[in-house]
Structure 1
Amino acid sequence: MQSISGMAGFERTLNSHVDSKGACSEQNAEGASDPVFKFRDSSHSAFVLQGLNHLRLSKKFTDVVLCAGDEEITCHRAVLALCSCYFNAMFSHDMQESHIQNVTLNGVQPSILSTIIEFLYTGEIDITEQNAQAVLEAASLFQISSLEAACSIFMREHMDPSNCIGILQFADLHNLTDLYKKAEDFSIAQFSEVCLSEEFLQLPEALLLKCLSKDLYLDSEETAYEAAMNWIKSDLENRGGSLPAVLNALRLPFLSPYSLTKASDDPIISQNPECVSAIEEAKRYQNMHLNEWQQLKSVKCEPRNYREVVIILGSMSIDDVEIQHKTIMYDPESRVRSLLEPPPFQKYEKIQTAAPLGSNVMVRTNLGNAWLYLPHENVWTGVASPTQPRWHGKLVACNNHVYLVGGYGLNRTVLENVEKYKPDTNTWEVVTTLPTQLLTGTQ
């Protein structure tokens, strides 16, 4: 080990490395062996790098000053050209910057430029959530590929629903393909949370439409519809004209009939003929037979990646007097069970039959009342009762509609009428009769 004085007090320690014999031999022209001492200083590259940075800080042998705002950073053209294709091109060609002392850089924050230069001379940098985008932007400008990759890795590993959209926009703006793909995949998988962020409301229209057209992972199409309407209404004056394009990007036929009715009653939709037409088209799709639906080639009729859950409805008797109602959601994927809003039934009322209505659940009780549970809002709402009194009939779901079949009416007459619920008018209508009267069971 040997200590050698460096420049202006800068010192290093040399580590010499020799092969296992301490030397190697080579044959000269006469066949004799000339000893060769192979020496490799493993600290040399670090010494040179540290020495160059020491020279920079001491402003020795420097030949250029980078200026950004009020910041002036003295550097060596050789180091900048070696580490950055941007500076290499700037200093290699017959450009003004190749021979002037002060070079002004626009569009770069002074503090970020200082951080970048420090990295070029030391190979070290602290990337944080606060500076990652700015450092990546500067690294992209200066064409420092290793730093670009490091920032991209950091942003991918620290992506969450609150910053995903910002990263998506940033990657799109700077043509960062891998980072964009990661942010896009994240937004698709976590859309239900991503759409609640402030950044989502700042999306430009082109990116919003692109996002809504993807096979998002959703509990229901209502989530995408509500997110899109929130985006429109957050700046209605400037975005109102985009409503037809936004509705066209949604899968409106997969909204529940109840939600379609609410949509058609929304003033900003009902006052736009093109939007009204889109809602009416979705209703027609829902009234098609299954084989007609399957023959359609429209993307509007292709389901998204919905997350399926089990809704458990029931009640228990406490001391044979009080009935306690419960609504439970079970997620088979995460195996998590959650208590939801219990139904607001009367004291002796309990569920007799239930069926899905779109993404909602319709139930009828032993008192003949009809209720609708909306899982995406976690609320219960009362709906109209069938046209005639009916006990022990069963609700049946088919093609996004609910039918009431069987049971008996007044004087215990077995009923043959089949009724269909119409959510757009909150009414029931008799649509057919059973070839054979059916009593679907007793309580």
Structure 2
Amino acid sequence: MENYEKQVNNVSPEPILPSENDLILKVNGGELHCNKSKMMESSEFFRGMFESDMKEAKANCVQVQETDIEAMAAVVDFCMTGRIEMSSDTVHCVAEIACKYQVPRLISMCSFFLRDSMTDENCLSTMFFAETFFLKEAYSKSKNYVLWNFMNLIEKEEFLEMDVCHLKTIIDHPQLNVKCELETLEAILCWVNHRRRERIVLLSEILQETKLLDFCYGADLELMKNSPDIVDNCSGDLISKMNAVKNYEKRVRCIPHQLISVGAHVESDTSEDEKEMKLHRGHIVSYDVDTGHMMPYTETPDGCLVSHDVLMGKKGYSACVQGEKIFMSGGENTLGKNTWMMTIWCYSSLEKTWSVVAKLRTPRRHHAMCTLGKSSLLLMGGFGRYRYRLDSVEEWNCETRKWCHRAPLPEKMVNIRACQCKEKVFVTKNGSPSSLFSYNPQADQWTSHPLQFNFGDLAFDAKRIWMIPDDELLYVGLDNMDTVLQFNTITHQEMRCSLFNNQGTFDASTYDFLQLIPEYLNETCEVFQALRRVFHIQGNVCRDRLCSFFVCFVKNEVFALPYFPD
């Protein structure tokens, strides 16, 4: 709400001009006394009226066709003083009148108010209202909010009560955030069942007139065709259409993503483009695969540790992504000076704001943090005070806003990597990883998986270990090695993946991997296919650009965040 408060505070009230500038607006049996010059200054409608040849131009009393005198009085008072008290109960009436009488500053303030008051309970009505009255800020935010949080809304009153045209519009959107079209069908049936007697006849119409079937694949389509609701209530034409659908004709719902680095490693011998990032030490940066450039993404607040040089490794903070949010925890700004970051910071790419979501119970640096399910964060190991190595594991539940202890790591670990793969969390440590450790949150139990894969002597010289979770597969590599471990998290089978092709003659054991030559890149390697899927790299990316991104990924902490345009 800061935007409209700033606008109000910049306006100084002035006294009403006397005599010929006095104006009375007659509204629904009442009278509002105001100043003609002030009304012309604030309202394009009244300026046009009083500068025209209309009879009202010289009148001191004008009839206004409004029924809500309180809302009209608030608008008039704003035109006179530049101030208004806004609330969720009045903003819609005020915005409607402001739009009718063309009061641009007040329209903008209403739009910002609605944008900053978004919740699951009001986002749909806000989107429809903002679209009707061209409230740009409110519409952009509410549309992104609805599409991203769609499955959280299907039991809300606004969703259940909206009309069928609005439902079709949302279902048709290519950026609707659903795992599969069975979720879309679940939402439709939830809406239908709210008033089943009158809405069940609309089910066939909704399925035929929306693009849902265009997004639907194989097994999901078969399940839909056998759904009792569809079999009993949909027309033969719809069933025929479903039988005629071909998978090769499918469209894909695609939510745009940006690649984000929370502390890129920019060293003294890096390129000039990377050196420019030292001007943005307080920023998280984005990476453009098409150009290979890094740009500032968002500035971090005071107290949130971000470093774009080799000091990042010394500060020891940890970061992870959950949905549209980046979380950052722990670290020590200056080692040995008791300058711990004792908070978990969160940046929302939807809200475009930072917030502190939790206070750490234990100082940690060079620890691991990863998501657990849809609502929790798991903090593991690292250094505590006095360089004491930790094996403790703590869970922060973002919904209940409570900490709880989890089973400790099998051993005390620092400089560790962790990620969620399927329903489990996998952890390994830098140096010479000989085992993977998996955590089962249902059993609260750790399991060790000794590796047959030998990373070799070079593992001790590695600066960073990295992981890529891809469905049930987990890829584990080091920043100085040309071979990657592929680990099946279900069968526990291991496979070696070579990052290089057979071109050229060189000794991979002494090759500087961070200077990877694009011609040596094995584009068909499973690692690069997983990289494309996990980081939402669409289209044909040339070998040079894919190589540049992979080097960036190996050197840096890179995440894919949903992109929500303004």
TM-score (normalizing by structure 2)? 0.40
Q: Does 1:297 align with 2:249?
A: yes
Question: In the TM superposition, what is the alpha-carbon distance from 1:304 to its structure 2 partner?
Answer: 5.6
Q: 1:108 to 1:100 in 2, by over 3 A?
A: same
The aligned residue for residue 85 of structure 1 is 44
C-alpha distance in structure 2 between counterparts of 1:185 and 1:77, whole Å = 41
Which secondary structure does the structure 2 equivalent of 1:52 belong to?
Answer: coil
The aligned residue for residue 155 of structure 2 is 196
Question: In the TM superposition, what is the alpha-carbon distance from 1:108 to its structure 2 partner?
Answer: 5.2
Q: Relative contact order: is structure 1 or structure 2 higher (C-alpha 8 Å, sep ≥ 6)?
A: 2
Q: Does 1:225 align with 2:185?
A: yes
Which shows bigger deviation, 232-241 or 62-71?
232-241
The aligned residue for residue 240 of structure 2 is 277
Q: 1:236 to 1:100 in 2, by over 3 A?
A: farther
Q: 1:191 to 1:255 in 2, by over 3 A?
A: farther
How big is each residue's C-alpha offset from its partner over 1:82-124, in whole Å with a ceiling of 9 and x where there is no partner? 2111001112112232234432222452101111111111111
Which secondary structure does the structure 1 equivalent of 2:24 belong to?
Answer: strand
TM-score (normalizing by structure 1)? 0.50
The aligned residue for residue 142 of structure 1 is 101
C-alpha distance in structure 1 between counterparts of 2:101 and 2:122, whole Å = 25
C-alpha distance in structure 2 between counterparts of 1:52 and 1:63, whole Å = 8
**Matches for 1:412-431 after TM superposition, within 5 Å:** none
Q: 1:332 to 1:184 in 2, by over 3 A?
A: closer
C-alpha distance in structure 2 between counterparts of 1:63 and 1:131, whole Å = 27
Residue 211 of structure 2, aligned match among 228, 231, 249: 249
Question: In the TM superposition, what is the alpha-carbon distance from 1:242 to its structure 2 partner?
Answer: 4.1
Q: Gapped runs of 5+ residues in structure 1? A: 1-44, 286-292, 310-328, 339-359, 362-396, 398-443
The aligned residue for residue 114 of structure 1 is 73
Q: Does 1:206 align with 2:138?
A: no
Question: In the TM superposition, what is the alpha-carbon distance from 1:127 to its structure 2 partner?
Answer: 1.3
The aligned residue for residue 62 of structure 2 is 103
Which secondary structure does the structure 1 equivalent of 2:84 belong to?
Answer: coil
Q: Gapped runs of 5+ residues in structure 2? A: 1-10, 257-320, 324-370, 379-394, 398-421, 424-471, 473-566
Q: 1:162 to 1:238 in 2, by over 3 A?
A: same
Q: 1:85 to 1:308 in 2, by over 3 A?
A: closer
Which secondary structure does the structure 2 equivalent of 1:50 belong to?
Answer: coil
Q: 1:249 to 1:238 in 2, by over 3 A?
A: farther
C-alpha distance in structure 2 between counterparts of 1:254 and 1:106, whole Å = 57
Question: In the TM superposition, what is the alpha-carbon distance from 1:235 to its structure 2 partner?
Answer: 4.7
Q: 1:243 to 1:80 in 2, by over 3 A?
A: same
**Matches for 1:313-352 after TM superposition, within 5 Å:** 330-331=372-373, 335=377
Amino acid at match of 1:77: K
The aligned residue for residue 429 of structure 1 is none
How many residue pairs get aligned? The number is 257
Q: 1:266 to 1:75 in 2, by over 3 A?
A: same
Question: In the TM superposition, what is the alpha-carbon distance from 1:200 to its structure 2 partner?
Answer: 1.6
Q: 1:157 to 1:178 in 2, by over 3 A?
A: closer
C-alpha distance in structure 2 between counterparts of 1:330 and 1:210, whole Å = 33
Root-mean-square deviation (Å): 3.6
C-alpha distance in structure 1 between counterparts of 2:163 and 2:103, whole Å = 29
The aligned residue for residue 161 of structure 1 is 120
Q: Does 1:260 align with 2:224?
A: yes
Question: In the TM superposition, what is the alpha-carbon distance from 1:273 to its structure 2 partner?
Answer: 1.4
How big is each residue's C-alpha offset from its partner over 1:344-401, in whole Å with a ceiling of 9 and x where there is no partner? xxxxxxxxxxxxxxxx99xxxxxxxxxxxxxxxxxxxxxxxxxxxxxxxxxxx9xxxx
C-alpha distance in structure 2 between counterparts of 1:52 and 1:177, whole Å = 32
Question: In the TM superposition, what is the alpha-carbon distance from 1:71 to its structure 2 partner?
Answer: 2.5
C-alpha distance in structure 1 between counterparts of 2:226 and 2:26, whole Å = 59
Task: Percent identity, please.
Answer: 20
